[in-house]
Chains A and B, each alone.
Chain A
Amino acid sequence: MQRNLNEVAVNQSSPALAFPLMSWFCLFLVVPLGIVMFYSFLTKGMYGGIEFRFTVENYIRATDWIYLKIFWSSLKLALITAFSCLLIGYPMAYVMATATSWLRPVFLMLVIVPFWTNFVVRAFAIKILLGDNGPVNFFLFHFGLIQEPIIFTNTYFAVWLGMVTNYLPFMVLPLYVALEKFDFTLLEAARDLGASSWMILRKILIPLTKQGVIAGFIFVFTPALGEFVIPDLLGGAKTMLIGNLITEQFLKTRDWPFGSALSFVLIFTVIGCLMIYLKSQQTNGKKKVI
């Protein structure tokens, strides 16, 4: 009865409470997206402006082989980043969730601390760290592991490192939340029933923390797909990514309609990827798990 009353109360007041959120949502998401969508069907002006002439040319152009290749390299980087974050973040979150109670907030703090510096600054820090005369090379040289400095600057490894360090917290936090709620006696039960560590991970731990894995993956994958600052800083702007391409259209080429069209292709790529991912998760769930 008590619960019912509460539910009624919440239901009655909910439209008013949703108002700030909804107006925010409309003003800063739906309206701008509408404008971008509108632009994407217009024609580029002679001097960088916009001509109000309807066309689908921009979308046709976006599926050009050159641009698809750019999409593919962005997608690849986002996937590599997300999977790397998952592989590194899961054990991290596990250690955090199983630590003694006073250590947990300490670990949590350590994960959050990097957010206090701007990510551009952090990217530069990595650049310095991996520089030809940077601490890493110095250390390796000093202990006689290398004779000449390893060139990290402008390599894919540097980009990967920058992406992973930047996005790791977005993976660790949802995983931590999922693991903290996890009943660890289930692991003992599984071990008692003869499961190996690998089986426990595959059959018990991962399926039961799936929500955290999905959330973390989305949190990392989505922004990573549009990322271009970190690859520019650490990779030397060698590979064009979708993020660079869009920025270029708006700021350099001043082809706003094409930039808008590319933005929408990106948005639909993200939605498409998520749909495929969630769909595969669902069918997995319906199948017999073992």
Chain B
Amino acid sequence: MLELKLLSKKFGSNFAVQNINLLIKDGEFFSLLGPSGCGKTTLLRMLGGFEKPTCGEIWQEGVRIDQLPPNERHFNIVFQRYALFPHLNVWENVAFGLRMKKVPKAETQSRVKETLDLVKMEEYADRSIETLSGGQQQRVALARALVNRPKVLLLDEPLSALDLKLRQQMQVELLALQRRLKHTFIFVTHDQEEALTLSDRVAVMNQGVVEQVGTPQEIYEYPKTLFVSKFIGSINSFSGEVKECTQDVLTVNGFFKRPIQVKPTRDGLRPLHQFHHGAQVHILVRPEKLKLLKSQPGPEQNSLEGSIKEVLYQGAITHFFVQPKDTNFPPVVASQPNSALTAKKGFSTGDRIYLAWSPEDCLAIEKETNNATQS
């Protein structure tokens, strides 16, 4: 178990990372997700021992490690640009860590071979680094770290240099590898999709602080801040004022004719926050939760009236940009999977339609008056 206590790092007068508290379990695939400059790489470098924290502590299994140099931690890092040694061949790169630790020759041989097998690079053992493609270099970098059997593997945006197809392929391989080895992986990325796909848990970071920690599902379905909701996937937000708040339904007066209702989900994933009367809130709803209807739905559904401004066909799904009626709201996005059924309905630009969603499919977040993250 890895524990970060009130960890901060200051560069000059700016906090790159501020008061981070995290608990990372053994064998967990944990992602640090955030936009560039959010402090995720600084945090990783502190874990790796390349930056000393300004204050705060890192504990690993009851041992404080934040002051230890990199070579005394049982961590290994996969660098963003791999940082493979260009004067050594694949085999020598992978063997480097074992040789530095004076592991006996025979054991080095077998462990390097085993690890190269693991990343499917055994045929390339004698190749020099510059003859390898990006994906192959990636595997060697992974092998070079894994061969040391680190308790924690740190990965600094390792897939960001690869093209999309290769990246997706490597994601699958990385996940399979982690499931098999059961090492703790701490994975830094700015790609929310990657984080959701791979992680057991994700910490979403913004401006040096952790905004939310949770499983991908929790983060996606129940974002706790506006920043998280907007950074993970896309989301529509409407502002409104709380009219009534009971144990199981929140009613919000918005800019639309009908008040919007918010209900907690039955599986308990998304409990209902209690707001006092008159509180200013954001109502958030994901595009895929919106349904397009030709006529107004019943009162048990939330709905708004509008006209289709733009239709963006994207193969698997179609995005509809809907301009709400009688408001100057930005268009609301509704995403529908493409099937024979939706094709038959034939919504097109200019159509007057209703957007409907169930009260369990949206959530309310209190408007923070002085929060810089509300961009």
Complex partner residue of A194 from B48, B85, B86, B100, CB under 8 angstroms: B100
With A190-B96, A290-B92 already in contact, the answer to whether A195 and B71 are too (CB < 8 A) is yes
Residue ID in chain A nearest B73 by CB atoms = A192
A207 to B49, CA, bound (A): 25
Please provide the chain A residues from 163 to 185 with a CB less than 8 Å away from any CB of chain B in the complex.
Answer: 183, 185
Contacts of A289 on B, CB cut-off 8 Å?
87-88, 92
A193-B97 contact given A188-B50, A188-B70, A289-B92, CB 8 Å threshold? yes
Which of A194, A196, A208, A288 lies in contact with B97, CB distance below 8 A? A194
Kindly state whether residue A191 has any CB partner on chain B within 8 Å. Answer: yes
A183 x B71 contact (CB < 8 A): no
Check B277 for interface membership: any CB of A closer than 8 A. Answer: no
A101 to B209, CA, bound (A): 30
Asked if residues B92 and A193 are in contact (CB atoms below 8 Å), the reply is no
Q: How far is the CB of B374 from chain A (nearest CB, A)?
A: 36
Interface positions of B from 241 to 268, Cβ below 8 Å from A:
none
A194 touches B71 (CB 8 A): yes
Chain B contacts for A208, CB-based, 8 A = 85-87
Contact indicator per residue, chain B 307-334, by CB within 8 Å of chain A (1) or not (0): 0000000000000000000000000000
Measured between beta carbons, the chain B residues less than 8 angstroms from A188 are 50, 70, 77, 79, 83
The answer to whether residues A290 and B79 also contact, given A192-B48, A193-B148, A194-B71 and a CB cut-off of 8 A, is no
Q: Do the beta carbons of B99 and A189 come within 8 Å of each other? A: no
Contact of A265 with B by CB under 8 A: no
Q: From A193, A195, A203, A290, give the contact of B144 (CB < 8 A).
A: A193
Q: How far is the CA of A191 from the CA of B83 in the complex (A)?
A: 12
Instruction: Provide the bound-state CA to CA distance between A193 and B94, in Å.
Output: 10
Question: Which chain A positions have C-beta within 8 A of B50?
Answer: 188, 191-192
Chain B residues in 8 Å Cβ range of A199: 100
Interface 1/0 per residue, B154-169 and A, CB below 8 Å? 0000000000000000
B95: chain A residues at CB < 8 Å are 290
* Cα separation A203 to B49 with both chains bound (whole Å): 21
Tell me the bound Cα distance from A191 to B86 in angstroms. Answer: 16
Report the Cα distance A192→B152, complex, angstroms: 12
With A185-B83, A189-B83, A207-B87 known as contacts, the answer to whether A288 contacts B92 (CB < 8 A) is yes
Residues of B within 8 A of A193 (CB): 71, 76, 96-97, 100, 144-145, 148
Interface centre among B50, B70, B75, by most chain A C-beta atoms within 10 angstroms, is B70
CB distance from A285 to the nearest CB of B (A): 8
**A111 CB–B CB distance under 8 Å:** no
Q: Shortest CB–CB separation between residue B72 and chain A, in angstroms? A: 9
Is A186 among interface residues, defined by CB-CB distance under 8 A?
yes
Choose among B76, B81, B86 the residue that contacts A192 (Cβ–Cβ < 8 A): B76
When distances are taken between beta carbons in the complex, the residues of chain B under 8 Å from A204 are 85
The answer to the question of B69 belonging to the interface, with a C-beta cut-off of 8 Å to chain A, is: yes
One digit per residue, 1 when the CB lies within 8 angstroms of any chain A CB and 0 when it does not, for chain B 327-371 equals 000000000000000000000000000000000000000000000
- Closest chain A residue, CB of each to CB of B50: A188
Q: B180 an interface residue at 8 Å Cβ cutoff? A: no
Q: How far is the CA of A192 from the CA of B148 in the complex (A)?
A: 10
Flag B121-135 by CB within 8 Å of A: 1 or 0 each. Answer: 000000000000000
> Complex Cα distance A13/B228, Å?
61
Q: Select which of A196, A203, A207 is within 8 A of B71 by beta carbon.
A: A196
Within 8 A of A (CB), among B284-314: none
The A-contacting residues of B in range 11-44, CB under 8 angstroms, are none
Query: When chains A and B are docked, how far (Å) is the Cα of A204 from the Cα of B84?
Result: 11
- List, in ascending order, chain B residues with CB within 8 A of A196's CB: 71, 100
Q: Which residue of A lies closest to B91 (CB)?
A: A288
Interfacial chain B residues near A186, Cβ < 8 Å = 83, 85
State A199–B145 Cα separation when bound (angstroms).
Answer: 18
A100 → chain B closest CB, angstroms: 13
The smallest beta-carbon distance between B74 and chain A, in angstroms, is: 10
Interface string of B76-116 (1 = CB under 8 A from A): 11010101111110001001110111000000000000000
CA distance A239 to B296 in the complex (A): 108
In the complex, A267→B73 CA distance in Å? Answer: 54
Which residues of A lie under 8 Å from residue B83 when comparing CB positions?
183, 185-186, 188-189
Q: Shortest beta-carbon distance, A98 to chain B, in Å?
A: 15
- List chain B residues, Cβ under 8 A from A288: 92
> Is A191 within 8 A of B70, CB to CB?
yes
Neighbouring A residues of B77 by C-beta, 8 Å: 188-189, 192
**Chain B, residue nearest A183 (CB):** B83
* Chain A nearest CB, measured from B338 CB (Å): 41
Q: Which residues of A contact B70 (CB under 8 A)?
A: 188, 191-192
Contact with B along A60-102 (1 / 0, CB 8 A): 0000000000000000000000000000000000000000000
Residues in A neighbouring B75, C-beta threshold 8 A: 192
Residues of A contacting B92 in the complex (Cβ-Cβ under 8 angstroms): 288-290
A-B contact pairs, 13 of them (CB 8 A): A185-B81, A186-B83, A190-B85, A192-B71, A192-B75, A193-B97, A194-B71, A194-B97, A194-B101, A196-B71, A196-B100, A208-B85, A290-B99
Using a CB–CB cutoff of 8 Å, the interface residues on chain B facing chain A are 48-50, 69-71, 75-77, 79, 81, 83-88, 92, 95-97, 99-101, 144-145, 148
Apart from A185-B79, A188-B50, A195-B71, what 12 extra A-B contacts exist at CB < 8 Å? A186-B83, A189-B77, A189-B79, A193-B71, A194-B97, A194-B101, A195-B96, A196-B71, A196-B100, A208-B87, A290-B96, A290-B99
Counting from the closest, the 10 A-B pairs by CB-CB distance are A193-B97, A189-B83, A194-B100, A185-B83, A194-B71, A195-B100, A191-B70, A192-B70, A192-B77, A207-B87
